[in-house]
Structure 1
Amino acid sequence: MRWDIFCRVIDNFGDVGVCWRLSAELAGRGEHVRLWLDDLQALDWMAPGALEGRVEGIEVLHWTMPLPAGQPASLPLADVWIEAFGCEPPPECINNLATRLTRGERPPVWINLEYLSAEPYVERSHRLPSPVMSGPLRGLTKWFFYPGFTERTGGLLREPDLLQRRAAFDADVWLQGLGVPTLTPRASLFCYEPAVLPEVLRQAARVPWQWLVTPGRAWRAAQATSAGNLHPLPLLTQAGFDHLLWACDLNFVRGEDSLVRALWAGQPFVWQIYPQHDKAHHAKLEAFLDWLQAPASLRVFHRIWNGIGSAAPVWPDTAELGEWRACVQAARQRLLAQTDLATQLSGFVQGKR
């Protein structure tokens, strides 16, 4: 089938990260994907070769406003439309589809791929119809599709060979290739600017921990503290980011895509959820910690890291880290028993055609 995936880059490239992983997974199964992106720069380092068309099965199209002359009328109609995270497809695509429908062409299965959450509404809303009530495509139906952590959701992205690659990975060889010290213990840092970061780095320096810090906001925030054994990293491909998580004894991650990859890595992690002004992220974090069955020390650290409450952070000792690791690996086993997101999406689409 031919899939159109529409993605607007809102902040920090997490949205394009999810969409690229989905595109790559579908292409790896023999599907044909057109990925419409309004900001192409992240793919330069996230997925080398993508912009030059060197990734088989994936065509990247620049979502300009307006679209170039001839698009999308000159393109074959897709079998599936995925609007990622509630973005509307370009008006030219909507108008073109309306014209083709008058000629008797078959509409694509239209899916609204939603944000990841462990909150109860996800199970209630997953796979529900959303009739289009106005505009040129009035009368069509969109379908809500929710990624999630339970069997009554759409699941998570997971490549078939992920755990095999994880088992074969040599952390020291990979770190040496980056010119990064192979000393342990190691922590990765991919974050926004948590207020407690200076204190966390100071406490960890007593061991001392080696911090492998991603570029951008995380590196600027860490540098400003003048604390800790900090090692700057280059921009990493998606595979490289997985390797970073596999190479570390503790991972600090943010957003959606990196949370999922931290779960698959099976190492202890702390998640910084994207902050919302109305503090709705507090409930989202608690729902995730409940699903994770997080031990008390991990719950407390998550809340402090996310600026919830006024308690001071306490760096975990060896026993606590072992408890965190066991918790994450148990959660990973529960997820491995579920069907992955790409498989569920493909099956859902087949059932609607």
Structure 2
Amino acid sequence: MTVRWDIFCTVVDNFGDIGVTWRLARQLVAEHRCAVRLWVDDLRAFERLCPAIDITLSEQWQEGVQVRHWPKDWLDTEAAEVVIAAFACQLPSAYMDAMAEREVTPLWMNLDYLSAEDWVIGCHGLPSVKYKHVQKYFFFPGFQAGTGGLLREEGLLERRRQFQQDDVAQRIFLQGLGVDRAADTRLISLFAYENTGLASWFDTMAAGPEAFHVLVPEGRVLADVRRWLGDEGVEVGAVHRRGALTVQVLPFIRQDQYDQLLWCCDFNAVRGEDSFVRAQWAARPMLWHIYQQEEDVHLEKLEAFLRLYTEGLCGPAEKAISGLWRAWNAGQDMTGHWKSVCEQRQELAEHAQAWCLEQASRADLATALVKFYRNWI
């Protein structure tokens, strides 16, 4: 029998939460034949990722997933066999009662934020709180054995490999976004939060000997781009050239298109969680802008990932990429760090591919969740 899954998502940071849960819901349906209801409290944010969404509907089907608007005034709903509270969101009290009233107790999991910190392995899969007799469990995505792994659809790496080897396919895709890639120009994607370090980075590229073309999908970093351009227009499609640097604003694009954008680029600057993972599957050098937390807790997570990610790099390459990440996340001057990264380009590119293959050797997150359920029953 088809197992029913309910996934609850509260949209906190624009697109990261819904981006992860939307990918997960689709994969559970397509690859594991689960019946999935995705409960979302903000359909407008969801619409940016899935333009087919009708934000006026309380219930609709998208790519095999039953999408439900999560209303403030909850209606009585039968609980599913598997319940996922994404990123520790609080379930409606009436739904929790419905879980407790089921004849067969459901599996209730908190799908937590991605982290490379050592303590995650010890907490993954452990019981959490109880509601009446319904036990909740921790489920942590991660980069090491003993965690839940990363979201990765079946065949993703092979599709990426074929695309990256097909110059014609890349050119057609970029032209569809209005991008004309000049010969001997290195492409960079930039999806980030506001960052005071951007001006020094752009200044360095503009004054350097190499040609760079930075593609900036609509997002929060555009305010900094506008300031660097001297309040010139940064509307979608705008192309600005200053020295060796070309800056182009792209429209907000669907997840599958964003994957292809990452695959086209030589270097990817990403933010949050969803784009962070997709950049790793792109197997290209990258720069992560981690979501800022109170008391700089996020910096501990940044350092934990860097310790894992830089294993095996030579000293200069490790120093270059770590310095760049730390400067970017502190909003500091990027000049020297970017020059060092460019000098270590070859090793960093080879390392990105090796890291991608290492992560792909483990079970993906959706498969791990399904296996956890089967073991639980």
User: TM-score by structure 2 length?
Assistant: 0.86
**2 CA distance for matches of 1:141 and 1:328?**
39
Q: Distance in 1 between matches of 2:190 and 2:85?
A: 30
Aligned to 2:126: 128
> Partners in 1 of 2:203 and 2:139 — Cα distance?
43
Distance in 1 between residues matched to 2:112 and 2:190, nearest whole Å: 26
The change in CA–CA distance for 1:119 and 1:40 in structure 2 (over 3 A counts) is: same
Partner residue, 1:61: 68
Per the TM alignment, residue 56 of structure 1 is displaced from its structure 2 partner at its CA by 3.9
Would the aligned equivalents of 2:106 and 2:134 in 1 still touch at CA under 8 Å? Answer: no
Deviation, 1:297, is 0.5
Aligned position for 2:236: none
State how many pairs are aligned. Answer: 340
Counterpart selection for 1:327 from 338, 341, 351: 351
Query: Corresponding residue for 2:254?
Result: 237
Contact kept in structure 2, 1:304 and 1:313, CA below 8 Å:
no
Distance 1:277 1:38 in 2: 25
1:306 aligns with 329
Worse-superposed segment, 314-323 or 148-157? 314-323
Contact 2:200 2:333 in 1 (8 A): no
- The C-alpha deviation readout for 1:212-244, integer Å capped at 9, x for no partner, is 001021222212111642111111101011011
What amino acid maps onto 2:177 in structure 1? Answer: L
Read off the aligned partner of 2:121 and give its amino acid letter.
Answer: E
3-state DSSP of counterpart to 1:314: helix
Contact 1:31/1:57, CA 8 A, preserved across alignment: no
Shift in Å, 1:172: 1.1
Q: Where does 1:1-353 land on structure 2 (aligned, <5 Å)?
A: 1-29=3-31, 30-51=33-54, 53-67=60-74, 71-73=75-77, 75=78, 77-98=79-100, 100-101=101-102, 105-132=103-130, 137-169=131-163, 170-183=169-182, 184-205=185-206, 206=208, 207-226=210-229, 228-293=245-310, 295-307=318-330, 313-316=336-339, 318-353=342-377
1:10 and 1:79 mapped to 2: Cα distance?
26
> In the alignment, residue 178 of structure 1 is paired with which amino acid?
L
CA distance in 1, matches of 2:196, 2:332: 12
Q: Which amino acid aligns with 1:146?
A: F
State the AA in 1 paired with 2:186.
Answer: P
Residue-by-residue CA offset, 1:131-168 (whole Å, 9 max, x unaligned): 31xxxx32321010000001111000101110121123
How far off its partner does 1:95 sit?
2.7
Distance 2:335 2:298 in 1: 20
CA contact (8 A) 2:99 2:134 kept: no
- TM-score between the two structures when normalised by the length of structure 1: 0.91
- SS of the aligned residue for 1:217 comes to coil
Q: What is the CA–CA distance in structure 2 between the aligned matches of 1:58 and 1:268, rounded to whole Å? A: 33
Q: Which segment is superposed worse, 298-307 or 322-331?
A: 322-331
Q: Deviations over 1:272-331 (max 9, x none)?
A: 111112011111111101110262100011000111777854323644122221221111
Per-residue deviation at 1:208?
A: 2.5
Q: After TM superposition, give the deviation of residue 85 of structure 1 in Å.
A: 0.6
Residue ranges of structure 1 left out of the alignment (5+ in a row): none
SS in 1 for 2:247: strand
Counterparts of 1:172 and 1:43 in 2: how far apart (Å)? 29
